[in-house]
């Protein structure tokens, strides 16, 4: 038997050292370096033995490479397809991260039950009966979904050879272990080795693999940072467990855009795809109230209508409060300074509270104009008309600056039944004969005079 080999790894960033030291040179964290056994076994992973007929790859000229579009596998989930860039790419490795209880396992189990492909769902955290109970709650039985409770990669690969699935889902990568490494499951070396085996399997068999990953208290995916570099796609499942809405983002995608967004609603029967996000981001009320304004924003290729709420009141204490939810607090202070200096509104001695409804955070500068309208509406106690919406960035001199893809924003506002949209007069608008009135404004004073006379 070969001699036992050990090495030292930083538990925070995964950097390897020959001996122990107090501080990691890479991430500068203290007391994170631990010893792990890295003894190699005589067993082989997924078909790692070279076959006699295998040929070494040869370099090709770039104009000789076949550039045909890769055929993607439809997941039957429009939101997941959008975030992935059109569906699963054969042979790809996708990592899904998120907080405990957010719905990662529910999402992938729901997808695996609806997939028209033979799917192997491997769980190292739940028994087959537990998964069956959740599956009965989510959707009727499926003939294409196989459930396996196993944590050893060698046993998983044996079952894969027997079943021959078209999609493999692993829940979760931190529970897997391999005979190649003599250390506990979830350690740096185990995560790195099991991921490498799965990558080799995915690339050689052309079968897509989806991994679920735990996250740390800082919100980062647990394990070495190299895990995110090894996989093809990294998805983040976000949301507050006290709210019913969940957001799926792409942090890395070798096959598509990273600016796309998927929105789900958590119900007792599973996750519902929200095809029209504006329905959850705009509150429905019978009477007009001051301090609210509707903004048009973009998340990837998708336009959204969001509601901005503001409350302006006289400061009780000496120093006025500035509080925001879902909006940059420093940008709010900048807008208040512009209103004070350029437009003459006396807000320096007043409390200002700002909220983006729906529990989402927005950093699109195009919502500045709606923020201004909501603040002035609350200050004057005059409601903004129900049919008004806004798309404009506010500059430091009080001018309304143009925003990108304004035509798409106007079309979304028209589709949802708004009468008037306020945009910068410097925007180049290609749309003709629109059913919505386009109000071109140059300064904050122009907006205030139209809204409040």
Q: Which residues are annotated as a binding site for ATP?
A: 98-105
Task: Please report the beta strands in 334-397, taking only residues with DSSP state E, as ranges in sequence order.
Answer: 350-356, 388-391, 393-394
Q: With 0-12 CB in 10 A as exposed, 13-18 as middle and 19+ as buried, what is 4?
A: exposed
CA distance 232 to 299: 22
> Which alpha helices (H) appear in 140-239, and where do they start and end?
153-163, 188-205, 226-230
Measured CA to CA, the distance from residue 416 to residue 65 in angstroms comes to 46
Whether 243 contacts 359, CB under 8 Å: yes
Residue positions forming the annotated binding site: 98-105
With CA atoms as reference, report the closest residue to 346 among 315, 369, 310: 315
Measure the N-to-C terminal CA separation of the chain; round to a whole number of Å.
88
Q: Which residues of 109-125 are buried (b: 16+ CB within 10 A; e: fewer)?
A: bbbbbbbebebbbbbbe
103 vs 237: CA distance, rounded Å = 8
Distance CA(99)–CA(220), nearest Å, equals 10
Task: Give whole-number Cα distances, 5 to 141, 178, 369, 408, in Å.
Answer: 48, 16, 62, 60
Q: What is the DSSP letter of 205?
A: H
* Residues 6+ away with beta carbon under 8 Å from 57: none
């Amino acid at each position: 038997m070969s001699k036992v080999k050990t090495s030292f790894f930083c538990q925070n960033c995964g950097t390897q050292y020959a001996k122990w030291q107090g501080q990691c040179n890479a991430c500068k964290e203290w007391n994170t370096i631990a010893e792990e056994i890295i003894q190699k076994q005589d067993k082989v992973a997924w078909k790692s033995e070279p076959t006699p007929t295998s040929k070494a790859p040869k370099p090709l000229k770039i104009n000789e490479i076949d550039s045909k579009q890769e055929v993607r596998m439809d997941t039957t989930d429009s939101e997941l397809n959008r975030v992935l860039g059109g569906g699963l790419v054969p042979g790809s490795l996708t990592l899904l991260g998120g907080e405990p209880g957010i719905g990662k396992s529910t999402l992938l189990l729901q997808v695996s039950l609806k997939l028209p492909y033979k799917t192997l769902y491997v769980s190292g955290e739940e028994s087959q009966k537990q998964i069956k109970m959740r599956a009965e709650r989510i959707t009727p039985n499926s003939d294409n979904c196989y459930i396996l409770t196993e944590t050893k990669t060698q046993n998983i690969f044996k079952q894969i050879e027997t079943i021959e699935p078209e999609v493999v889902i692993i829940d979760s990568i931190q529970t897997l272990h391999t005979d190649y490494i003599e250390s506990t499951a979830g350690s740096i070396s185990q995560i790195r080795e099991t991921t490498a085996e799965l990558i080799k399997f995915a690339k050689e068999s052309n079968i897509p693999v989806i991994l679920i990953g735990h996250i740390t208290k800082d919100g980062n995916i647990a394990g070495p940072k190299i895990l995110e570099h090894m996989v093809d796609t990294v998805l983040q499942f976000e949301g507050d467990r006290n709210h019913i809405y969940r957001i799926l983002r792409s942090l890395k995608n070798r096959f598509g855009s990273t600016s796309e967004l998927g929105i789900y609603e958590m119900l007792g029967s599973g996750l519902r795809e929200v095809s029209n996000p504006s329905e959850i981001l705009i509150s429905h009320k019978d009477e007009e109230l001051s301090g609210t304004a509707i903004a048009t924003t973009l998340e990837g290729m998708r336009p959204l209508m969001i509601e901005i709420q503001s409350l302006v009141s006289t400061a009780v204490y000496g120093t006025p409060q500035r509080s925001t939810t879902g909006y940059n607090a420093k940008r709010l202070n900048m807008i208040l300074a512009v209103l004070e200096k350029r437009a003459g509104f006396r807000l320096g001695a007043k409390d200002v509270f700002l909220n983006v409804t729906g529990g989402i955070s927005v950093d699109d500068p195009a919502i500045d104009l709606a923020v201004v309208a909501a603040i002035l509406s609350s200050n004057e106690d005059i409601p903004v008309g129900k049919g008004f919406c806004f798309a404009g960035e506010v500059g430091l001199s009080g001018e309304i600056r143009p925003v990108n893809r304004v035509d798409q924003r106007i079309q979304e506002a028209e589709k949802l039944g708004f009468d008037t949209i306020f945009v910068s007069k410097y925007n180049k608008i290609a749309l003709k004969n629109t059913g919505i009135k386009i109000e071109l404004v140059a300064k904050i004073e122009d907006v205030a005079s139209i809204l409040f006379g």
